[in-house]
Amino acid sequence: MKKIALSIIALSTIVFFACEEKSTTKPSSTTTTTTTTGGTTAATYYVSANVNGEFKEFTNLVVYRNEDPNDESLLVVAGLPNNVTKPSIEFNIKKPSAGWSDNMSYAINLENATTYIKYTTESGRVYTTSNIPTDVTPFKLNFSKFNFVKAGAVAGTMVGRLAIDVDTTTLNIADGKIMMVCEN
């Protein structure tokens, strides 16, 4: 039930930003910040990876901290620039028993379904760690930086496989990089 509620919150946030009226005011933290170096422009905050061998960079980020002491977690919804809703990647990361810290690692599969990664393709197919059986290598998230405060930096890497529950189709994520800040 909590997964559904968080997914609804995430989708509502994406729809809100997709329908947002354009203005000339200072952009919010969900808008990509860019840095120009040597004639090239690069995103400052992003989630990127090779998805089945194709490079994807998600720069339209929503990074929400759930501070409820009974359910502390970080929800991230990452989409493409210009409010394109698909493909997208979503993380729901539960606070580990040892607490939040730099150099944390997660191994995610069916056993720990409260922490999950979900990827939605351009065609709307949803792949998730919740469908990865316990007998295969789990999806790995490694955080070099994890500052669970407002405007706190979160950085790390990810690699692994996601699956669809209706068949055995999998999606491979390699060379994943995470660089973002908590909004609230």
The 10s digit of each residue's pLDDT in 96-119 is 988 999 999 998 887 777 899 999
What is the torsion angle, in degrees rounded to the nearest 10, for the CA atoms of residue 120, residue 103, residue 73 and residue 154? -70
At residue 166, the pLDDT reads: 65
In 3-state terms, what secondary structure has residue 147? coil
Owning domain of residue 103:
2-181
**DSSP percent split of the chain into helix, strand, coil, nearest 5:** 15, 45, 40
CA–CA distance, 96 with 28 (Å, rounded to integer): 29
User: In this predicted model, what pLDDT tens digit does every residue of 46-70 receive, in sequence order?
Assistant: 999 999 999 999 999 999 999 999 8
Residue 26 confidence (pLDDT) above 70: no
CA–CA distance, 104 with 114 (Å, rounded to integer): 17
Tell me the pLDDT band of 42, cut-offs 50, 70 and 90: low
Residue 34 confidence (pLDDT) above 60: no
Task: Please name the amino acid found at residue 164.
Answer: I
98-115 CB burial, b ≥16 within 10 A, e <16: eebeeebebebbbeeeeb
Residue 14 confidence (pLDDT) above 90: no
Tell me the pLDDT band of 35, cut-offs 50, 70 and 90: very low
Residue 156 confidence (pLDDT) above 90: yes
Residue 178 confidence (pLDDT) above 60: yes
Q: Which carries the bigger pLDDT value, residue 128 or residue 40?
A: 128
In 3-state terms, what secondary structure has residue 69? coil
Q: How many domains does the chain have?
A: 1
At residue 36, the pLDDT reads: 33
Instruction: Please compute Rg for the chain using Cα positions.
Output: 16
CA–CA distance, 84 with 57 (Å, rounded to integer): 12
What single-letter DSSP state applies at residue 112?
A: G
Tell me the pLDDT band of 160, cut-offs 50, 70 and 90: very high
Do strands 153-163 and 139-146 pair parallel, antiparallel, or not at all (unpaired)? Answer: antiparallel
User: In this predicted model, what pLDDT tens digit does every residue of 115-140 receive, in sequence order?
Assistant: 999 999 999 999 998 888 777 788 99
